[in-house]
Structure 1
């Protein structure tokens, strides 16, 4: 039987359900995808972005504790995290919802 996602350091039982919604059902599949692709899949399937969750995943895949991320490494991971969020959100390409489209059309939305 494959090891669950939660067998990866820093990931708990809630990770199993979140990654399963993204089509990632075991630790080996997550490792094969890599942190960035797996986290992007997670966001595309309804999980809200959270920087600590992202870098905990990166650290866990390296066998390191989540709080081991510091300094320039953390700054570099933040840039990767922001790039993932931008890809998922479309970086302003399209409104996230019908109401946002209407608000933008009348000039009161967040995106102009």
Structure 2
């Protein structure tokens, strides 16, 4: 029996829905992917990036409260988050026509 994503500390129904849109169906699958790959997949499926959401996921996967992240650790997570965002933007570059068509037919969210 697999556990829902929302069984992970700090992650609620909105993250669970974003994971499902990204093809991540369980807490075990999220743990297996790790936060960076999972977050990139979530962004690729239309979720808008948000640093607090990212580090809340990282902390939750470690079993820690979301607000436990401070100082150098938070700075390092910010750098990872920015790298994920940059990589996603690079993948999306040159796809505005495709994205518009996919959004029009309901495959991805409209901007």
Q: Residues of 2 paired with 1:96 and 1:49: CA distance? A: 18
Question: Which residue number corresponds to residue 22 of structure 1?
Answer: 22
Q: Residues of 1 paired with 2:95 and 2:46: CA distance? A: 13
What CA deviation, in whole Å up to 9, does each residue of 1:64-104 have, x standing for no partner? Answer: 0000000000000000000000010008x834625xxxxxx
User: Which of 1 and 2 has greater Rg?
Assistant: 1
Question: Which residue number corresponds to residue 48 of structure 2?
Answer: 48
Q: Residues of 2 paired with 1:41 and 1:73: CA distance? A: 23
Q: Which residues of structure 2 form unaligned runs of 5+?
A: 98-111
Q: Give the alignment's TM-score, normalised by structure 1.
A: 0.82
Question: Which residue number corresponds to residue 102 of structure 1?
Answer: none
Question: Which residue number corresponds to residue 97 of structure 1?
Answer: 96
Q: Supply the RMSD in Å over aligned alpha carbons.
A: 1.4
Q: Which residues of structure 1 form unaligned runs of 5+?
A: 99-112
Q: Residues of 2 paired with 1:61 and 1:3: CA distance? A: 13
Q: Residues of 2 paired with 1:61 and 1:33: CA distance? A: 11
Question: Which residue number corresponds to residue 84 of structure 1?
Answer: 84
Query: Runs of at least 4 residues of structure 1 off by over 3 A?
Result: none
- Count of paired positions: 97
